[in-house]
Amino acid sequence: AVGRRLSERLFNGQTDLYLDYNLVPTVVFTHPPVATIGLTEKAALEEYGEDQVKIYRSSFTPMYFALGEYRQKCDMKLICVGKEEKIVGLHGIGIGVDEMLQGFAVAIKMGATKADFDNTVAIHPTGSEEFVTMR
C-alpha cells in the first residue's frame, strides 16, 4: 500500500494520496509471533494518567496446543482510555496474533471502543475471540 500510494503520487499526479502513519500495525514474525498497534501500557499511563486508563488482559492456551504435551500460551492486552474506553492499544503474543491484527487495526484506526468490541459476536473457537470477550 505504501509503495503504491507513493508511485501514484509521484508519477500519476494524484498528489493527495498520503497514508496516515498514526496507528501503524506492527508484527514480528517470530515463534511465537508478536502483534501490536497503538500505545503501550506505559505510554498510555504517561499520556492519559492512571485514572483514565483501563487495561484488559487475557492469557490462554490456544486450541492448536490444547491436546499436546507442549502448551504454548497466548497473551493479549487491550489498552483503553476515558469513560468511553476508546481502544488506544492492542497487543498480543502467541500463535495467530500475526494474522488477526489487520482487522483489529482497522477497527482501532476508526476509533473503536471496548463497547464496540463487546458488541461484536465472537468467532468461536478462535484466538481472536479473546479480544472481543475480555472482561
State pLDDT tens for residues 99-117: 999 999 999 999 999 999 9
Q: What average pLDDT does the segment 119-123 reach?
A: 96
Q: What are the grid coordinates assigned to 21, written together?
A: 502513519
Which tens digits make up the pLDDT trace of 42-65?
A: 999 999 999 999 999 999 988 888
Does the pLDDT of residue 18 top 90, yes or no? Answer: no
| Domains within the chain, CATH numbers bracketed | 22-132 (3.30.390.30)
Which residues are annotated as catalytic? 124
The b-or-e profile of 111-135 (16+ CB within 10 A means b, else e) is: ebbbebbeeeeeeeeebbbbbbebe
Give the predicted TM-score (pTM) of the model: 0.90
**Residue length of the chain:** 135
